[in-house]
């Protein structure tokens, strides 16, 4: 089949989209990608004979005028590229709500698979606005298939949007765990982890005030000299000062910087325990607070692939796989004492949990799931 993937955002920031591309190419499908920053993808994708792409130019900068120009370019160039590729393609697969809003009625012309990364009741017509809502639910009802990353989200989304069928579930499992050679700027950080004599507790992901890093630092410090906390990821602008203070205060914490997917996987080989804090809040404009409750992190698969037991928040999205496969510990509160208890619980069953992690990773067959999405008629 010839599948057009429209992802009108920076593709390297979305591992699930990279997973989809690699899955389709590995199964001998033709893929035409419309996105940004495509040349930063791995050479095994770029040089594949069944891969072609249109890299949408971006207007750099902030402010209303720059955002407006960026949106107009995204809409104009995105629609033109999709229409060109769809002249001889079988399926249009969109990957985000923003992409559907940008393409608008263009998606209605084709056999459309609408993938959603977040759980949401509604989507704004204009960024940051509650006054004007984009009718994303109407586009979902007219799509051939709707795809979400977690089973509970599927039933919730069906109910909220009055969909005819329960959306398909495509877990956020990495398709290829081969990160390739390290970037030159990674070598010093990798060497630091390699030489670390303490057991490394790893936080990998976005660094913000809601990620309990202070409590993790206090707990790790309280566990004595046996453990240390390594942090990898982007620091939010609002949290930079607070994070700098944390690094100065707690000597057990090491920050290694941010590295794009899939290169970040190189660090996992040295981790002992992986952290998965998810704190539900109603602070987001349109993403439901249920999004965190029914989280679908790719990190749970990344940790599992390396046999790394996990410590996370007690939310259904983590509790269900943790308990079913015995791969981690959930805590209702991520306070200092609970985190320390969680670390000790993992240590008591470490070998079994580590082996179970690899079984969990192998339990999901992405080839079968994507093939069923593409071939099964509703």
Domain ranges of the chain: 2-170, 184-362
- Say if residue 68's pLDDT is above 90: no
Q: Return the CATH number of the domain spanning residue range 184-362.
A: 3.40.50.2000
Query: pLDDT by residue (tens digit) across 294-343?
Result: 999 899 999 999 999 999 999 999 999 999 999 999 999 899 999 999 99
pLDDT of res. 282: 58
SS (H, E, C) the chain: CEEEEEEEEEHHHCHHHHHHHHHHHHCCCEEEEEEECHHHCCHHHHCCCCEEEEECCCCCCCCHHHHHHHHHHHHHHHHHHHHHHHHHCCEEEECCHHHHHHHHHHHHHCCEEEECCCCECCEECCCCCCCCEECHHHHHHHCCEEEECCHHHHHHHHHHHCCCCCCEECCCCCCCCCCCCCCHHHHHHHHHHHHCCCEEEEEECCECCCCCHHHHHHHHHHCCCCEEEEEECCECHHHHHHHHHHHHHCCCEEEEECCCCCHHHHHHHHCCEEEECCCCCCCCCCECCHHHHCCCCCHHHHHHHCCCCEEEECCHHHHHHHHHHCCEEEECCCCHHHHHHHHHHHHHCHHHHHHHHHHHHHCCCHHHHHHHHHHCCC
pLDDT over 70 percentage in the chain: 94
What superfamily does domain 2-170 belong to in CATH? Glycogen Phosphorylase B; (3.40.50.2000)
pLDDT for position 107: 97
Q: What's the pLDDT tens digit per position in 70-105?
A: 677 788 999 999 999 999 999 999 999 999 999 999
pLDDT digits over 196-233, tens only? 999 999 999 888 766 778 999 999 999 989 999 999 99
> What would the pLDDT profile of 98-153 be if each residue is shown by its tens digit?
999 999 999 999 999 999 999 999 888 877 777 789 999 999 999 999 999 999 99
């Amino acid at each position: 089949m010839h599948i057009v993937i429209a992802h009108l955002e920076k593709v390297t920031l979305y591992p699930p989209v990279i997973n989809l591309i690699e899955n389709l190419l590995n199964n001998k499908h033709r893929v035409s990608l419309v996105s940004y920053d495509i040349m930063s993808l791995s050479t095994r994708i770029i040089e594949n004979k069944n891969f072609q792409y249109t890299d949408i130019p971006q207007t750099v900068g902030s402010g209303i005028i720059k955002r407006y120009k960026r949106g107009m370019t995204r809409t104009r160039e995105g629609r033109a590229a999709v229409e060109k590729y769809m002249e001889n393609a079988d399926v249009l697969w969109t990957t985000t709500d923003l992409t559907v809003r940008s393409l608008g009625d263009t998606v209605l012309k084709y056999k459309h698979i609408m993938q959603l990364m977040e759980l949401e009741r509604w989507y704004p017509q204009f960024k940051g606005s509650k006054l004007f809502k984009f009718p994303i639910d109407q586009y979902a009802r007219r799509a051939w298939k709707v795809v979400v990353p977690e089973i509970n989200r599927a039933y919730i989304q069906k109910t909220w949007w009055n969909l005819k069928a329960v959306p398909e579930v495509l877990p956020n499992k990495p398709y290829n765990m081969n990160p390739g050679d390290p970037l030159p700027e990674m070598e010093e950080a990798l060497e630091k982890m390699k030489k670390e004599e303490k057991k490394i507790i790893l936080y990998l992901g976005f660094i913000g005030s809601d990620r309990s890093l202070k409590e993790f630092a206090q707990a790790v410090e309280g566990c004595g000299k046996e453990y240390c906390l390594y942090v990898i990821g982007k620091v939010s602008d609002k949290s930079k000062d607070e994070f700098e203070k944390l690094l100065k205060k707690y000597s057990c914490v090491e920050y290694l910087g941010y590295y794009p997917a899939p290169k970040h996987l190189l660090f996992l080989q040295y981790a002992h325990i992986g952290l998965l804090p998810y704190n539900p809040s109603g602070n987001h404009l349109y993403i439901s607070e249920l999004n965190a409750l029914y989280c679908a992190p790719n990190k749970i698969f990344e940790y599992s692939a390396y046999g790394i037991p996990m410590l996370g928040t007690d939310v259904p999205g983590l509790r269900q796989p943790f308990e079913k496969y015995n791969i981690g510990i959930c805590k209702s509160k991520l306070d200092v004492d609970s985190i320390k208890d969680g670390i000790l619980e993992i240590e008591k069953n470490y070998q079994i949990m580590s082996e179970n992690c690899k079984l969990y990773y192998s339990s999901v067959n992405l080839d079968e799931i994507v093939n069923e999405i593409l071939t099964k008629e509703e």
